[in-house]
Amino acid sequence: MITYPQADEHIPYYRRYIELVSQGADIFAVLSHQPEELRRLLQNVSDEQGNIHPAAGEWSIKEVIGHLCDAERILAFRALCFARGEKGAILGFEPNDYVAEANFNRRTLTDLVEEFNHLRLANVLCFNRLTDAESKRSGIASDNPISVRALIFVLAGHVIHHVESLKTVYQVEAV
Question: Per residue in 62-119, pLDDT tens?
Answer: 999 999 999 999 999 999 999 999 999 999 999 999 999 999 999 999 999 999 999 9
- pTM of the predicted protein model: 0.97
What was the pLDDT predicted at 1? 82
Which amino acid, 160? I
What was the pLDDT predicted at 15? 97
Q: How many CB atoms lie within 10 A of CB 106?
A: 8
User: What number of residues does the chain have?
Assistant: 175
Q: How many CA atoms lie within 13 A of 106 on its CB side?
A: 5
Per DSSP, the three-state class of 35 is helix
Strands 138-141 and 144-147: antiparallel
The answer on pLDDT for 175 being more than 80 is no
Distant-in-sequence, close-in-space partners of 112: CB < 8 Å, separation ≥ 6: 62, 65, 66, 69, 104
Round to whole Å and give the CA distance between 60 and 75.
22
Per DSSP, the three-state class of 147 is strand
Tens digits of per-residue pLDDT, 20-49? 999 999 999 999 999 999 999 999 999 999
Tens digits of per-residue pLDDT, 127-150? 999 999 999 999 999 999 999 999
For 27-168, CATH number?
A: 1.20.120.450
Q: How many CB atoms lie within 10 A of CB 128?
A: 14
- Counting runs of H as helices and runs of E as strands, what totals does the chain give? 8, 2
